[in-house]
Amino acid sequence: MEHEPILELKDLVVKFHTLDGVVHAVNGVSYSLEEGKTLGVVGESGCGKSVSVLSVMRLILDPPGKIYAGKILLHGKNILEYSEAQMERIRGRQIAMIFQDPMTSLNPVLTIGKQISEGMVIHLGMTVEEANARAVELLNIVGIPNAKDRFSDYPHQFSGGMRQRAMIAMALSCNPEILIADEPTTALDVTIQAQIVELVKRLRDQLGMSAIWITHDLAVVADLADKVVVMYAGYIVEEADVFRLYENPLHPYTNSLLKSLPRVDSSREHERLATIPGSPPTGTKVIAGCPFVPRCNFVIDRCRVENPPLEQVESGHKIACWVDVNNGRQR
């Protein structure tokens, strides 16, 4: 059953003006997040996935970045038209974000407890004492041992995994409707990564939040998401529900990404993992055709001159490709 979209991006265009030229970071991206669901946004570094969610939070620094076109609808209202004062009421309260590197996201001169409780005083109207008590509860919930004692510690006194847990406590403090996680496990070792993923999953289910999980790790998305959007060079190249995408990837890029993953159920014991040759484009040049052409095994003449639109090829499955990867012929 289809749920109502709580958040929609429509034809979002974001560019950055740099010394090397204009970087076309997000090129007309559209996707939606349904109530109570988790959307996975996947792609290599520089593909525009983080820029798209920073645009949702209106945290693109202008200059050098600027949102040139599109709409971001929260409950049907375009938040790109909101004032900064209106956005301050939304950030943390309706939409909260866990950032990639907690050490650069946490304020080094404020205690962990102060940083968690501050939002509750501002958004929920709690007294300082109430907010402090709730902050200790949240630190307990996210698995910080001796939470009451650690409440007054500074970020540098926490390990990487504990800092990320503190960031999650901060994000959840005002009971947001939407949680955005921007590669929150990238800087952590594998065992801590798994713990953080399980923690976010459990809290998301307990609190009934909608979530967007940004990652380059397809294995993480398989366990977390209901729907997956695959981005490349600022475009969405494939969109499908998680089971359909993993069973039948229809874009050459998604196909190659999945083939590069090690599989425990594979019968091909001694076969080398597939790799994708070359590098993604820098984004400073406007490409007439499909941006994946230099790395693709299915190129036809049309790919070099015309960038395919994102179109539905079967129920709930969209791709931006002129070729059928199953037979190599033009669609």
pLDDT confidence of residue 84: 93
pLDDT, position 208 = 85
Mean pLDDT of 216-245: 91
pLDDT of residue 324: 86
Question: Running DSSP on this structure, what letter comes out for residue 272?
Answer: P
Q: What average pLDDT does range 29-43 have in this prediction?
A: 93
pLDDT score of 267 more than 70? no
For the ranges 38-52, 192-206, 308-322, the lowest mean pLDDT is seen at 192-206
Average pLDDT over residues 60-80: 93
- Which single residue is written with the structure tokens 């994708």? 276
Structure token digits, residue 36: 């109570």
Question: Three-state secondary structure along the chain?
Answer: CCCCEEEEEEEEEEEEEECCEEEEEEEEEEEEEECCCEEEEECCCCCCHHHHHHHHCCCCCCCCEEEEEEEEEECCEEHHHCCHHHHHHHECCCEEEECCCHHHHCCCCCCHHHHHHHHHHHHHCCCHHHHHHHHHHHHHHCCCCCHHHHCCCCHHHCCHHHHHHHHHHHHHCCCCCEEEEECCCCCCCHHHHHHHHHHHHHHHHHHCCEEEEEECCHHHHHHHCCEEEEEECCEEEEEEEHHHHHHCCCCHHHHHHHHCCCCCCCCCCCCCCCCCCCCCCCCCCCCCCCCCHHHCCCCCHHHHHCCCCCEEEECCEEECCCEECCCCEEC
- Give the pLDDT band (50/70/90) at residue 2: low
Please state the rounded mean pLDDT for residues 59-73.
Answer: 92
Residue 266 pLDDT exceeds 60: no
What's the rounded mean pLDDT across residues 306-321? Answer: 92
273, pLDDT greater than 80: no
- How does the average pLDDT of the chain come out, rounded? 88
Handedness of CA 167, 109, 162, 206 (dihedral sign): negative
Question: Residue 254: what pLDDT?
Answer: 92
pLDDT exceeding 70 applies to what percent of the chain? 96
pLDDT digits (tens, 9 = 90+) for 186-229: 767 788 788 888 888 888 888 888 999 998 888 888 888 999 99
Q: Average pLDDT in the 249-261 region?
A: 87
The predicted model scores a pTM of 0.89
* Amino acid sitting at position 25: A
pLDDT for 131 equals: 93
Mean pLDDT of 242-267: 83
What is the per-residue pLDDT for 1? 47
**pLDDT over 90 at 256, yes or no:** no
pLDDT of residue 73: 96
35 closest CA partner among 12, 3, 10: 3
Which pLDDT belongs to residue 265? 62
